[in-house]
Amino acid sequence: MTKSVSEADDLQRFRPFLRALAENQLHANLRKKIDPSDVVQQTLLQAVAASSQCHGQDDQAKAGWLKAILQNVVNGLARSFHRESRNVDREMGLGSTAKSSGQAMDLAADQTSPSHWLQSDEDRQRIARAIESLTEEQRQAMVMRYWQDQSLAEIGETMGKSPDAVASLLYRAMKLMRNELA
């Protein structure tokens, strides 16, 4: 087995973690054009190609390195849509403006200490696996509600559902998450 194949296999265990990050990083408008799984795949491809640049051997260092690559992939995709003179908000026909709370959460997350990262890394992976077990619709609603801090009405407008239907969808998703994490 070649070195790059074994590295690729090693990085696969980070897929649920990267999927959760991709869900968080992709704005809802871009998510309609770009699947988070594609972002994860591109991230892993770039990671294997640049594996010599990862100087850390522990999971914490690899997770941080992969997070940086994923952020670069998401930023590149967002730039490519804007560079092509696309107004993603107009394409989706949304009447509300995007909230930047997801970006603020990212800034706060980058300020955690290494010891805090180690303590919560296992919890993050468990949560990522639980999120991965949800349906695509449930995942989208969870990200929009709890990571992007959108109201039920905003989520309903984006997803084409009533606020009551969104509330029911979130309830079922939380119930599944609790069962997965129990």
Q: Distance between CA atoms of 128 and 120, rounded to whole angstroms?
A: 12
pLDDT exceeds cutoff 60 at 10: yes
- In tens, the pLDDT along 49-92 reads 887 777 667 778 888 888 888 888 888 887 777 665 555 555 54
Nearest Cα to Cα of residue 17 among 127, 128, 177: 128
Instruction: Return the domain boundaries, the chain.
Output: 3-181
pLDDT bucket at 172, cuts 50 / 70 / 90: very high
pLDDT of 40 over the 80 cut: yes
* pLDDT reading at 25 higher than 70: yes
Tokens of 46: 């770039």
The residue-averaged pLDDT of 153-169 equals 93
Nearest by Cα to 110 from 50, 68, 53, 54: 68
Q: Which are the contacts of 74, defined by CB distance < 8 A and separation ≥ 6?
A: 22, 25, 26, 39
Distance CA 34, CA 76 (A): 12
